[in-house]
């Protein structure tokens, strides 16, 4: 036996005292939920893991669960890194998360309805008017328009973190086109293939019921007068980085995957071009951003959308999932008002906490932010994918000055939050061929329909693979883990 490569998997695990470790408590004891799996994993050597890791990677690659990266004019296929150590969430802990994310989705839906109708929350001075009127994601075209079933954010992705106090905090709500759900299912499949033995020892909720629930949600918001709706999913095409997810969802739901060029609008009805002529389309799950869906109404240079689609939507002849204009509410500046929004519409206290946020648009906050950049995370309010974020304690003096300058140019565009310490989880690292602590977050998926809602019992645990890195987004070199929600 080669002693060099067969050392037990946790022999070189270094624990940082200041971070919340999902597996080990503060006395370095294994938390009860992880006891069994750690025992089982300890039967494997590091070299076993290296080979399992390779197998998992090639399985993702062969299945084409990949995205394209363009460099040197040559397209390269990459897989989203997948980690073999699952994240486990206890039943009790999950219950609170599930209630909390559903509460947020419902409140956001009421909020968007109000913004595009009576605007009571603004009239009553709870949310400031200029926050809405200055938002690029506010679509005046949506004013006084009633989406079928009264639903705007049919699909929400809520990003949560666990802070060093062991409590969950919401980082942001994604209610435009949240992605990642296909990876929840792929990760589960990959882990089952690689380490099926461990599944016998845990009672885990399945994640495969997402597709059927999404279908029901789509059918629940069909246009008035339609009996059995014809649902489709619209994608920007095969070169989109989320194309795998689009094709996966269309396939598992059993609906057509269309591109803009496959659809056309006639007399304010939407049709797709099939081999036997035009076929009417009733519900569109769109994975194209608001401004691209209809070149006649929004960006005229969009080749991805369908001319006349918005007019058909306005007439109530087609439903869009999610509705256009939801982006106004997942703005990071709106986020800070979530406790008030939940209270205003639902009369409830928020179940999940917000991270305290400073608005650079407010005079006092701006002053505080400029004086304390070193201890804050500064984020642009309307960017996704982890772009434009600066983390104070990583900046040099010159960089701090630069951030200040950028904020002052357009204070409305920035918010700041205390640096939250994301919890860490044991993660297999290829470079060192061992398990190390890496920061993780959790994205949950919530569906909202007419008289129906659903929270996927599981989620996407994203992990920052670079040591010490806090940004988990896949576009910034993040990976992901299978996420188990225990039945009891």
Partner 1 sequence: MLARVANNLFWMGRYIERAEHTARFMNVNYFSSLDAPNKLSQSRQFVLHSICSMVGDDIDDAIELKEEEVFYNVGMNPEKHYSILNCVKYSRDNANSSRDLISTEFYESINKFYHFVMNYSKNVFVKSGLHDFTTNVTEHTAILRGKIRGTLLHDEVYALIMLGVNIERATQIIRIVKTKFEDAQKATGGYANPIKNSYEWTTLLKCCESYDMNRRFYKKPPVQLTVLEFLILNESCPRSIMNCLNQIHQHMTILDLLKIRDKNSAAFLIGKMRSEYEFKTVEEVQKNVEKFVESTLNTLVEISAKLENEYFNY
Binding site for partner 1 (CB under 8 A): 61-64, 233, 238, 243, 246-248, 250-251, 255-259, 261-262, 272-275
- Of the pair 56, 381, the CB lying nearest partner 1 is at 56
Pairing relation of β-strands 168-174 and 231-234? Answer: unpaired
CB of 245 to partner 1, least distance (A): 11
Burial (CB count within 10 angstroms: exposed 0-12, middle 13-18, buried 19+), residue 360: buried
Which residue's entry shows tokens 């200041």? 18
CB of 243 to partner 1, least distance (A): 8
Q: 389-398: long-range contacts (C-beta < 8 A, 24 or more apart)?
A: 389/471, 391/419, 391/470, 392/419, 393/419
CB of 99 to partner 1, least distance (A): 34
CB of 247 to partner 1, least distance (A): 4
Q: Give Cα 100 to chain centroid, integer Å.
A: 16
Closest CA to 368 of 412, 376, 339, 391: 376
Distance CA(422)–CA(22), nearest Å, equals 10
Query: Is residue 384 helix, strand or coil?
Result: coil
CB of 61 to partner 1, least distance (A): 7
- Of the pair 132, 186, the CB lying nearest partner 1 is at 186
Structure tokens at 294: 């209809």
- Of the pair 64, 385, the CB lying nearest partner 1 is at 64
Phi then psi dihedrals of residue 231, to 5 deg:
-100, 145
CB of 281 to partner 1, least distance (A): 11
Q: Where are the beta strands (DSSP E) in 144-282?
A: 155-162, 168-174, 231-234, 256-258, 263-266, 269-274, 277-281
- Of the pair 281, 485, the CB lying nearest partner 1 is at 281
- Of the pair 127, 257, the CB lying nearest partner 1 is at 257
Distances (CA, A) of 363 to 20, 32, 360: 34, 47, 7
CB of 77 to partner 1, least distance (A): 9
- Of the pair 85, 210, the CB lying nearest partner 1 is at 210
- Of the pair 259, 282, the CB lying nearest partner 1 is at 259
């Amino acid at each position: 036996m080669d002693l060099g490569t067969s050392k037990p998997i946790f022999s070189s695990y270094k624990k940082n005292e200041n971070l919340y470790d999902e597996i080990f408590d503060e006395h370095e004891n294994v938390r009860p939920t992880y006891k069994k799996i750690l025992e089982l994993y300890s039967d494997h050597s590091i070299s076993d893991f290296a080979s399992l890791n390779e197998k998992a990677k090639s399985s993702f690659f062969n299945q084409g669960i990949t995205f394209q990266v363009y460099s040197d004019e040559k397209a390269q296929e990459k897989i989203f890194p997948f980690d073999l150590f699952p994240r486990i969430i206890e039943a009790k802990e999950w219950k609170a998360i599930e209630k909390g994310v559903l509460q947020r989705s419902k409140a956001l839906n009421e909020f968007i309805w109000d913004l595009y109708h009576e605007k009571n929350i603004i009239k009553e001075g709870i949310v400031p008017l200029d926050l809405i009127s200055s938002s690029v994601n506010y679509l005046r075209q949506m004013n006084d328009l009633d989406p079928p079933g009264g639903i705007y954010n049919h699909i929400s992705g809520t990003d949560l973190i666990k802070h060093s106090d062991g409590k969950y905090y919401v980082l942001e709500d994604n209610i435009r086109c949240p992605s990642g759900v296909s990876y929840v299912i792929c990760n589960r499949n990959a882990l089952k293939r690689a380490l099926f033995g461990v599944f016998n020892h845990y009672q885990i909720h399945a994640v495969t019921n997402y597709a059927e629930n999404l279908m029901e949600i789509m059918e629940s918001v069909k246009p008035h007068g339609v009996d059995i709706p014809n649902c489709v999913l619209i994608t920007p095409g095969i070169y989109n980085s989320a194309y795998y997810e689009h094709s996966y969802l269309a396939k598992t739901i059993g609906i057509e995957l269309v591109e803009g060029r496959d659809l056309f609008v006639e007399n304010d009805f939407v049709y797709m071009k099939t081999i036997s002529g035009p076929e009417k389309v009733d519900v569109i799950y769109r994975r194209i951003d608001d401004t691209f869906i209809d070149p006649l109404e929004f960006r005229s240079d969009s080749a991805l959308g369908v001319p006349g689609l918005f007019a058909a939507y306005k007439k109530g002849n087609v439903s869009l999932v999610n509705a256009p204009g939801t982006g106004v509410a997942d703005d990071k500046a709106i986020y800070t008002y979530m406790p008030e929004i939940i209270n205003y519409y639902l009369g409830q206290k928020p179940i999940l906490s917000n991270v305290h946020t400073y608005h650079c648009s407010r005079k006092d906050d701006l002053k505080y932010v400029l004086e304390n950049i070193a201890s804050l995370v500064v984020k642009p309010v309307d960017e996704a994918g982890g772009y434009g974020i600066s983390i104070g304690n990583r900046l040099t003096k010159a960089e701090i000055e630069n951030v200040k300058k950028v904020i002052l140019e357009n204070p409305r565009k920035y918010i700041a939050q205390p640096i939250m310490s994301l919890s860490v989880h044991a993660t297999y690292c290829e470079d060192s061929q061992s398990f190390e602590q890496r920061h993780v977050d959790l994205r949950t998926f919530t569906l909202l329909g007419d008289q129906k809602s659903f929270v996927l019992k599981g989620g996407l645990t994203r992990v920052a693979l670079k040591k010490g890195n806090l940004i988990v987004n896949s576009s910034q070199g993040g990976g992901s883990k299978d996420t188990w929600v225990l039945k009891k």
